[in-house]
Chains A and B, each alone.
Chain A
Amino acid sequence: MNIVVCVKQIPDPADPGELDPNTKTLKRDVKLILDESDSYGVEMALQLVDTAGGGEVTLVSMAPNNEVGGIRTALAMGAAKAVLVSDEALVGTDALGTAKVLAKAIERAGDADLVVTATESSDGYTGTVPEQVAELLGLPSITFAKSIEVDGATVKVQRQTEAGYDDVEAPTPAVISVTAGVVEPRYPSFKGIMAAKSKPVDEVTVADLGLDADAVGWAGARQEITEIATAEAREAGTIIEDEGEGYAQIVDFLADLKVI
């Protein structure tokens, strides 16, 4: 079974950076890492390929400046190869443009039985890309998967809902987005890290994918940021050091609000 996993390389969320006032995009001069949300999809895909007893995991990613740091992490976990779309024309690309690029890159990666994504990235978090990719590829999709099982040519998923979860099935190939925490992502072993250095990364441009430059970047986004405003801040509260009586302050606070 062959699985394509879409991965995003993002600035470290512990150091989220800032918006560039000129380009109105996230400053990306920092080192990019594998979005933690994507590590669950990578792990899930590796386990599914193991269970199937054959096949491989291919990564698909889009990044400015040929960044591969995050991809190498996922290769070190056990993915076999990657397609990286890197092009200056991609600056300003929105979710739909991203999906157009990823869909073409997935086709380039070869026949996949499943396409696995996170539910959303940790930096842009539009949460629309998985479904957009599915529609562009003409595939069924099951979003918000808590678990995935492949039975022959059918994929069976527990899909998170407001009330609990649904069992959902679809014929493969299908696009599945996985929620965080569904599996425990493995730490890359030393051997894995060394092996990752020589795994193939197919670096392509937007033109290589046969996409029009107008479909991506600011032109493709067809949106204009009119303003970046400072949001109203909350008034400073009372902050006290606990010396054993901190709980009593909370009790009084809750009692004043009549919630206890």
Chain B
Amino acid sequence: MTISKIWVFAEATDGNATTTTLEMLAKAGELADTVECVTAADADLATELGAHGASKVFTVAGTDGKLQGPTVSSAIANAVEAGNGPDAILIATSYSGRDVAGRLSVKLDAPVITNVVDIVESDGTLAGVEPVFGGTQDVITKFTSDKVEIFLVRPKSFAAAEDPSGAAAGTEELAAGDLGNTGTAVVTNRFVEEQTGPSLDDAAVVVSGGRGLGEEAKFEMIEELAGLVGGAPGASRAIVDAGWVPYSYQVGQTGKVVKPTVYIAAGISGATQHLVGMKGSKNIVAINKDPEAPIFSVADLGIIGDVHKVMPALIEAIKNR
């Protein structure tokens, strides 16, 4: 099957397209002649999506106060059944993205290639590149069915257009139809957690802590250093699982993928799970008492030492500058 039309599931925060949406649009433009978006966001988003290469934006109504999975997947499936669907669809590995991809996969009886960090052409079809074993190996997988090719794409896999200059995209409403029992979950309240400093996604410096900190209270050192350098605090899965910090702090395969200018890993051994989420950082500093810790294999500067001594001294030195 030749790939001539790709859809991108476009997500928005505060009225702007998410960075991953724009990254996927850039890649889709390289792979297909026609790039269109489907979104649960406002039609106003069509200006920005058009600038980044979308020629049309399909809006799905009826998602207010609902989770996007059932509604958006149903609308896409309807379009596919009517013969107006894409050859492939790119969906971000986000909370809503996974919901949409999972539901859509069942509706179309189409497999999903997940955790993709690149998409390449392979004999007239598309193949997804997925890093395994902490990013030491890449598995390249293509579809052998004639179904719509669904890819779940990890954030920061591609560069968004630097000079977005496309015309505003036209919009068309897509109907979700009757969702039956699957559409009965409702959002009753939304809570925004106060955040000081940059987000993990955008920070130029990320300071992360792991099990080597020894106890929950010591995470304050991570937050203090992050604050001093204008960075964001992050965490390994081990201490998220232990309940020291919320899931939103997690860097790794199951958490955020970060690519800051500097990544500082304190008391993190560097399980494959963690490496996948940070080895794309431009510079990596690691502090760990175990000289054999895998984190040192990706570190530009590694300090074999006690995090309880190195971190306070580092914080003091930066304060005194």
Contact = CB atoms under 8 A, between A and B. Distances in A.
Nearest to B240: A181
Interface in B73-124: 73, 93-95, 98-99, 101-103, 105-107, 109-115, 122
Given A134-B182, A140-B185, A143-B95, A161 B112 contact: no
User: Could you say which interface size class chain B belongs to?
Assistant: 35 or more
Contact of B137 (A13, A126, A231, A250): A231
B262 A125 contact: no
Contacts of B103: 131-132, 134-135
Interface string A102-132: 0000000000000000011010011111111
A260 to B, nearest CB: 6
A222 interface: yes
Nearest to B117: A231
B147 A239 contact: no
A128 B240 contact: no
Nearest to A119: B254
Given A181-B241, A225-B141, A234-B279, A132 B102 contact: yes
Given A96-B112, A132-B105, A241 B262 contact: no
A251 interface: yes
Contacts of A23: none
A190 interface: no
A121 B180 CA distance: 29
A160 B283 contact: no
A227 B141 CA distance: 7
A237 B318 CA distance: 23
Contact of A13 (B122, B188, B271, B296): B271
B210 to A, nearest CB: 14
22 contacts: A96-B109, A96-B111, A126-B114, A128-B114, A132-B105, A135-B70, A141-B182, A146-B247, A163-B193, A164-B190, A168-B186, A169-B186, A227-B138, A229-B137, A234-B297, A239-B296, A242-B304, A242-B306, A244-B313, A247-B311, A247-B313, A259-B229
